[in-house]
């Protein structure tokens, strides 16, 4: 393994697979390497799903958001599933996101750019290697691109053919989204709708990474926007090495243990030329800690004089397990982190330009609270469907967005 210190990474040449020399975590161990290479070989020549123009337009909107001219709504499922890759389902997800954006747009009287966690959000980082149910232990579910959620030994084995299925499903999803806008007489570019997923599975991401035909830049053509997760964000990570080479806008998740100086070093690596709209910092601290932790981070980043666009993910810092062991989040904590983050930015002279939510158009009972839904610990299992983290349901997400936009207006 090569040393990957800041100074070294600046000088080592990048290519779509240079991450192989860096600290690599959260990757599946495929039992059959030749099947893996077959899948990767096919993906290497697979068609592109998004265009360079769209990616740069998304980046431009994110840069405008940093100035307060646009608001960013990034949202969708924690883990998108292959089962939900159906025309009706995709359109319902997209229309719900567009409805939420329209609410913000009407209240704030500024355009909203919608970045779906959609058309490829199939890989999940896991805090626990194993999952225990009724005394039995199996490897964790890692997203449909890797293994099957069913709690059976053979279903949890990583399968390389899922890489191809994920690609085909992403392609179908994106085609349906394009068709939907087309049928509603909205040019895709005017929809201000973009796709995103976590850049987790680096084998997959590097296959979809190609050099531009019109410039010297590299792009990931599998999604408009990619993000760096909290668990793969250390300075020596293979994930940072991969992401530093692409020109797509990049989200960086920032958890409660983040170190301000390390974050600034990461931003320097990912955006050495200070391109506006390139870096979207997504803070996900937790309602109880946000004031303590975020102040230092905001002050340091503001001092660093490099352009960033700030978003708040009020979901991931507020997860907890109920007494019955069910993973959930409470509407009030989610709203509190959002408002406290907004106020902190105001005090410190930066702008909260976007929010990042896990939500669904379905009437699920995964998060607690909400005035209309009023989900309680007792009825949490009535319609608990998520494959990974708990999502706000339709009413909860409408309520949160409405309440938030009204407050900051
Ligand atoms: C996620 O967005 O689903 C996720 C795993 O987030 P984080 O990396 O912030 O924990
Ligand atoms: Mn999640």
Ligand 1 binding pocket includes 116 (Cβ within 6 Å): no
Three-state DSSP class for residue 104: helix
Residue 2 confidence class, pLDDT cut points 50, 70, 90: very low
- The residue whose CA is least distant from atom 10 of ligand 1 is 230
Separation of 186 CA from ligand 2 center, angstroms? 30
- Residue 258 has phi, psi (to 5 degrees) of -60, 150
CA distance 368 to 137: 28
Closest ligand 1 atom number to CA of residue 388: 3
- Assess whether pLDDT exceeds 70 at residue 4: no
| Model pLDDT, residue 256 | 98
Q: Which of 322, 405, 404, 307 is nearest to 366 (CA)?
A: 322
**Cβ < 5 A residues, ion ligand 2:** 78, 389
CA distance 236 to 395: 41
What is the rounded CA–CA span in Å between residue 288 and residue 290?
6
Tell whether ligand 1 has an atom less than 6 A from the beta carbon of residue 125: yes
Residue 199 Cβ inside 6 Å of ligand 1? The answer reads no
Q: How far is the CA of 78 from the centre of ligand 2 (A)?
A: 4
- When pLDDT is cut at 50, 70 and 90, the band that residue 11 belongs to is low
Instruction: Give the per-residue pLDDT at 345.
Output: 98
407 pairs with which residues across the strands?
A: none
Q: What percent of the chain has pLDDT over 90?
A: 96
> What is the four-CA torsion angle of 276, 279, 280, 285, rounded to 10 degrees?
-140
Task: Give yes or no for residue 316 CB within 6 A of ligand 1.
Answer: yes
Residue 236 φ then ψ, to 5°: -95, 15
Query: At residue 22, does pLDDT exceed 60?
Result: yes
- Provide the pLDDT confidence category of residue 12 given band limits of 50, 70 and 90: confident
- At residue 209, φ and ψ (nearest 5 deg) are -100, 125
DSSP state of 291: H
User: What pLDDT, in 10s, does the model give residues 51-73?
Assistant: 999 999 999 999 999 999 999 99
- Give 3's pLDDT tier (boundaries 50, 70, 90): very low
CA distances from 134 to 108, 131, 137, 138, 402 (A): 49, 10, 9, 11, 41
Ligand 1, pocket-test mutation among 196, 237, 252, 284, most atoms within 8 A of CB: 284
Beta carbons within 8 Å of 288's beta carbon, 6+ residues apart: none
pLDDT in tens, 76-131: 999 999 999 999 999 999 999 999 999 999 999 999 999 999 999 999 999 999 99
* ipTM for this model: 0.99
Ligand with minimal distance to 198 CA? 1
- How much is the average pLDDT of 373-402? 97
Cβ 230 under 6 angstroms from ligand 1: yes
Summarised one tens digit per residue, pLDDT across range 254-285 is 999 999 999 999 999 999 999 999 999 999 99
Q: What is d(CA 8, CA 242) in angstroms, rounded to the nearest whole number?
A: 15
Q: 41 vs 4, which has greater pLDDT?
A: 41
The CATH superfamily holding the domain 18-408 is Aldolase class I (3.20.20.70)
Query: Structural domain boundaries of the chain?
Result: 18-408
Measure the CA–CA gap between 48 and 323, rounded to whole angstroms. Answer: 46
251 pLDDT more than 50: yes
CB 223 within 8 A of CB 55: no
Task: Dump the DSSP string for 315-328.
Answer: SGGGEEE-TT--EE
How many percent of the chain have pLDDT more than 70? 97
Residues of the chain by 3-state class (helix, strand, coil), percent to 5: 40, 20, 40
Spatial CA neighbour of 223 closest among 72, 104, 98, 122: 122
User: Which two tokens mark 23?
Assistant: 């600290």
Residue 300 has pLDDT above 60, yes or no: yes
399 lines ligand 1 (CB under 6 A): no
Tens-place pLDDT, residues 123-141:
999 999 999 999 999 999 9
- What mean pLDDT comes out for the span 2-15? 61
Count of other CB atoms within 10 angstroms of residue 56:
17
Determine the average pLDDT of the residues in 316-345.
97
pLDDT band at 355 (very low <50, low <70, confident <90, very high): very high
Mean pLDDT of the chain: 96
For position 131, what pLDDT does the model report?
A: 96
Q: Does any ligand 1 atom lie closer than 6 A to the CB of residue 93?
A: no
Q: Give me the pLDDT at residue 263, please.
A: 98
Nearest to 298 by CA among 340, 248, 356: 340
């Amino acid at each position: 393994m090569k040393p990957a210190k800041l100074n070294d990474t600046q000088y080592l040449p990048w290519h779509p697979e240079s991450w192989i020399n860096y600290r690599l975590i959260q990757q599946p161990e495929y039992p059959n390497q030749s099947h893996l290479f077959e899948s990767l070989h096919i993906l290497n020549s697979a068609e592109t799903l998004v265009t360079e123009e769209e990616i740069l337009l998304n980046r431009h909107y994110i840069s405008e958001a940093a100035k307060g001219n646009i608001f960013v709504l990034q949202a969708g499922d924690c883990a998108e599933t292959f089962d939900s890759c159906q025309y009706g389902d995709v359109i319902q997800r997209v229309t719900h996101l567009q409805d939420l954006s329209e609410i913000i747009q009407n209240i704030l009287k500024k355009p909203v750019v919608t970045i779906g966690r959609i058309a490829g959000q199939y890989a999940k980082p896991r805090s626990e290697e194993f999952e225990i149910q009724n005394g039995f232990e199996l490897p964790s579910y890692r997203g449909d691109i890797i293994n099957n959620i069913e709690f059976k030994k053979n279903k949890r084995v990583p399968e390389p053919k899922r890489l191809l299925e994920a690609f085909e499903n992403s392609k179908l999803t994106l085609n349906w989204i394009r068709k939907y806008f087309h049928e509603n007489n909205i040019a895709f570019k005017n929809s201000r709708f973009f796709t995103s997923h976590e850049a987790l599975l680096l084998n997959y991401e590097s296959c979809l990474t190609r050099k531009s035909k019109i410039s010297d830049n590299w792009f990931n053509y599998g999604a408009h926007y990619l993000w760096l997760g909290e668990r793969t964000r250390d300075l020596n990570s293979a994930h940072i090495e991969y992401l530093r080479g692409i020109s797509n806008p990049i989200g960086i998740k920032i958890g409660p243990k983040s170190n301000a100086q390390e974050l600034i070093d990461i931003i320097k690596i990912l955006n050495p030329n200070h391109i506006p709209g390139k870096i979207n910092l997504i803070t996900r601290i937790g309602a109880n800690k946000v004031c303590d932790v975020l102040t230092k981070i905001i002050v340091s980043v503001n001092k660093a004089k490099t352009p960033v666009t700030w978003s708040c993910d009020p979901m991931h810092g507020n997860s907890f397990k109920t007494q019955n062991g069910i993973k959930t989040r409470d509407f009030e904590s989610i709203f509190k982190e959002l408002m406290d983050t907004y106020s902190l930015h105001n005090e410190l002279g930066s702008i909260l330009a976007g929010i990042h939510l896990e939500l669904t158009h379905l009437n699920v009972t995964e998060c607690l609270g909400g005035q209309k839904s009023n989900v309680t610990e007792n009825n949490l299992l009535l319609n608990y469907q998520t494959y990974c983290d708990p999502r706000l349901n339709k009413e909860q997400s409408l309520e949160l967005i409405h309440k938030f936009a009204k407050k900051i207006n």
